[in-house]
Chain A
Amino acid sequence: MPDRIFAAVLLFLSLIYAFYAFFVIKAPFQYDPLGPEAWPRLLSVIMILCSGALLLRPLVQNFDVDGATWKRLAIVLALLAGYAVLFEPLGFIISTVLFATVTSRLLGAVWKRAALFGLGVGVGGYLLCAGLLDLNLPAGPLPRL
């Protein structure tokens, strides 16, 4: 079943991809005989065949993820999204301290250690990467090094 769902989504997406390849993409003029549309057209046709084959003869029968796992994965995904949203506005240090603390706590560290880990990674990571290696990381409201 999971393979079927995946194949169906893939088939749907490749039909959209094919639509663009066959009817939308076009160059005003070109010097090569293929143009920008030939390669996507070829890919889309093969992909439709492949996803069709997978739909008819699925291989993986069981996705094997239970409710608790789905929930945990969803929380991690939300944390990552939050980290990405706050990365620039709050800057590397604050967003990283928050993310590292909450995530390690969620995954089983005790609060105190999680907070220490968060602080260490946030501040230490910034000093190492922005200070020593001169990488470009957002400072947020804190002063830049």
Chain B
Amino acid sequence: MMEVLHGLGTGFAVALSPLNLLLVLAGCFAGTLIGALPGIGPINGVAILLPIAYGLGFPPESALILLAGIYYGAEYGGRISSILLNVPGDAGAVMTTLDGNPMARNGQAGKALSLSAVASFVGGTIAVVLLSLFGPMLARFGVKFQPSDYVALMVFAFACLASLVGSSPLKTLTGALIGLMLATIGVDANTGVQRYSFGIPDLLAGIDFLVIVIGLFGMAELFHLVEQQIRGRLTTVPIDKSFVSWADIARTKWTMLRCSLIGFIIGTLPGTGASVASAVAYGTEKRLAGSTAGTFGTGDIRGLAAPEAANNGSATGAMVPMLTLGIPGSGTTAILLGALLMFNVTPGPLMFEQRPEIAWGLIASMYIGNIALLVLNLPLVGLFARMLTIPQHYLTPLIAILAFIGIYSIVGNPFDLYMIIGLGVFGWILRKLDFSLAPVILGFVLGGLFENNLRRALSISGGDWGILFSTVDSLVLYALAIAVVVIPLWLGRRAARRANAAFDA
């Protein structure tokens, strides 16, 4: 414990120097802007700005602090376009659209933006406290998590998703299957065999997740807007001055705490990131809401706070295996790892002993970054909310242009532009037919993880299915999965029985 406090002392001394403080703020600000662009999330933001950070010639700890600022900033920024435009800024912000966008449409954009900033702050801060206290211990838990445990985690995630069932269970299942099938396109990760790519070079490696998200959400939203406009069904939202109240925070405090924890733990596992964390968090909260779950998806503040706390928690959680073991837990931390190597810092257990100013400086900058982002974001809420007052004839082309920038600047492949247009048409048709898009996206994310880890686990066991139930972690997760499905049913039945009893009496 003393060790941690001493380390934090060293860290804050580094992070609070004027230059580093300025860099945290600059990074957070740039990151928020980048994150708000649809398609460009933390991973691409950090990758794009890494050479700049390197080129500026700062000492390693300062450059890393700048990059870390961009990382959290982008994680915060991703929610903005989710809420305002129904277009997720990045992978972790998909679930944020579910309740965030309806709130904005109900004239509560300011409240949605400010509440999500608070939730992000809570998620990020709880996670960084846990990181400083239990980092090394959690890292060991993370690597002990084997392919068979990932299978159990995916089963749990699917069970949480059952709560997303919208108007029709059949359509939800069909939607998830579409996502699962899209995920099978491209090279098979185990045997290297091609599946469903039909020799098209751009499909050999599969469809990029961002292409799916931008296509199905962003471009579909564009077609939806055009359709609504021509039929005069677009109601202009009044400039709203709504803001988060203490009552809202009090109402969502347990949601935020639970989801921060869920996000952090899932974030520490190598290979699963913000998208899985926010999906599990949302599903869990909806399940726990019991009889009041009906408002989820229509602008429930708990449905907004849950994924936002979780995705920021997981962003920090992903730092755990990178800092303590030198294993990147996500794409973004892989780039940060590359940055460490660029500065000739070897991450891993030795870093805390050999270069404490870097390890602890980075951690201290996370505390500061979270506070900076909250302070930075709250006053800007009004400004962002005004985006909704942009007239339709400008907003529609703007969505397309932002989507094109986001998709093209990542890979530079014009094929992806055709893909997002095609997926946009498809997504619009799905929406017209009352399909919810979230199951499609989550099927896409979880499908690949499920299949690969299942087959990995079976390769390890030589074909023995018993391996799936061989660890405590996996058994706990299966139990939770069953609980998540059964408890709400039981609660519902009990509530119904009580209502009947009351009626009879």
Contacts and interface: CB of A to CB of B under 8 A. Distances in A.
A–B direct touch in complex (beta carbons closer than 8 A):
yes
B249 interface: no
5 contacts: A32-B463, A34-B458, A36-B188, A39-B454, A137-B408
B230 A68 contact: yes
Contact of B392 (A39, A69, A76, A108): A108
Interface of B: 30, 34, 40, 48-49, 51-52, 167-168, 170-171, 173-174, 177, 180-181, 184, 188, 190-193, 195-196, 219, 222-223, 226-227, 229-231, 391-394, 396-398, 400-401, 404-405, 408-409, 412, 414, 417-418, 421, 424-425, 429, 432-434, 451, 454-456, 458-459, 463
Given A2-B432, A36-B191, A103-B393, 6 more contacts: A3-B433, A10-B174, A76-B222, A81-B421, A117-B397, A121-B398
B191 A121 contact: no
Contact of A87 (B181, B191, B397, B414): B414
A80 B170 contact: no
Interface string A33-51: 1111001100110110011
Interface of A: 2-3, 6, 10, 14, 17, 20, 25-28, 30-36, 39-40, 43-44, 46-47, 50-51, 53-54, 59-60, 63-66, 68-69, 72-73, 76-77, 80-81, 83-84, 87-88, 92, 96, 99-100, 103-109, 114, 117, 121, 125, 129, 133-138
A82 B289 CA distance: 47
Contacts of A54: 170-171, 174
Given A43-B180, A104-B397, A36 B195 contact: yes
B396 A107 contact: yes
Contacts of A26: 193
B193 A51 contact: no
B259 to A, nearest CB: 30
Nearest to B227: A69
A107 B34 CA distance: 28
Task: Say what secondary structure dominates the interface of chain A.
Answer: helix
Contacts of B425: 77
Contacts of B51: 134
A135 to B, nearest CB: 4
Contact of B405 (A64, A117, A125): A125
A60 B409 CA distance: 39
Given A47-B174, A59-B434, A100-B401, A84 B392 contact: no
A143 to B, nearest CB: 19
Given A87-B414, A108-B393, A109-B391, A6 B48 contact: no
